[in-house]
Chain A
């Protein structure tokens, strides 16, 4: 069973640009969560999607958005990049059982210069 895939693995962008990150969950999983990890703030929840609908959203500005497609693949977009957006962006594939287990992909390392 294939794991969670995220592309690209590394990105370097300039302030003011926008970026789109992609995530494919474990086969059969219909829910995906996104997190941002930084040395200062740790792991913080961005949003969760299930069946193409956003079910939960964290405390991030509107520059952070996401979507999910009918095949459960998800994308997140960050517009008007700021230096503080430099982080590891992690996608988690959610088990869909009452156990609420989440399995992380390898992440996308975004550097904003």
Chain B
């Protein structure tokens, strides 16, 4: 079992729809959770961080964390073609700067 799992996709949604990206992790001691966006040929860009159970909203993005079920999700409202990218889920297991990444979900937003 991988430590951080994501569906590789592609997840295809029409423009204006809500895109829902999911991630599960295996270590119950995980403390910090991050979503990165990576465009093809570019480096990952941090878009959301979440540390406690519940929802965290930032603009069109909402991160959701459920530690009991060991999953973290990212909702993108009013999806735009420019949101088409690979979304990487990352988990920090301890108080370090060592992130464990999922393999990423490719999102395609159709105009």
Residues of A within 8 A of B (CB): 31, 33, 35, 42-45, 48, 55-56, 58, 88, 90, 92, 94, 99-107
**6 closest Cβ contacts across the A-B interface?**
A43-B101, A104-B43, A94-B97, A107-B43, A42-B103, A48-B97
Q: Classify the secondary structure of A's interface with B.
A: strand
B101 contacts A42, CB within 8 Å? yes
A100 contacts B43, CB within 8 Å? no
Complexed CA–CA distance, A100 and B95 (Å):
8
Q: Out of B34, B96, B104, which one reaches A101, CB within 8 Å?
A: B34
With known contacts A43-B88, A90-B43, A102–B32 Cβ distance under 8 A: no
Segment of B14-22, B44-52, B59-67, B70-78 engaged in the interface with chain A:
B44-52
Contacts of B43 in A (CB 8 A): 88, 90, 104-107
Complexed CA–CA distance, A56 and B97 (Å):
8
List, sorted by A's number, 10 A–B pairs whose CB atoms are closer than 8 Å.
Answer: A33-B98, A42-B103, A90-B43, A99-B51, A100-B32, A100-B97, A101-B34, A104-B45, A104-B46, A105-B43
A48 contacts B44, CB within 8 Å? no
Which A residue sits closest to B31, measured CB to CB?
Answer: A100
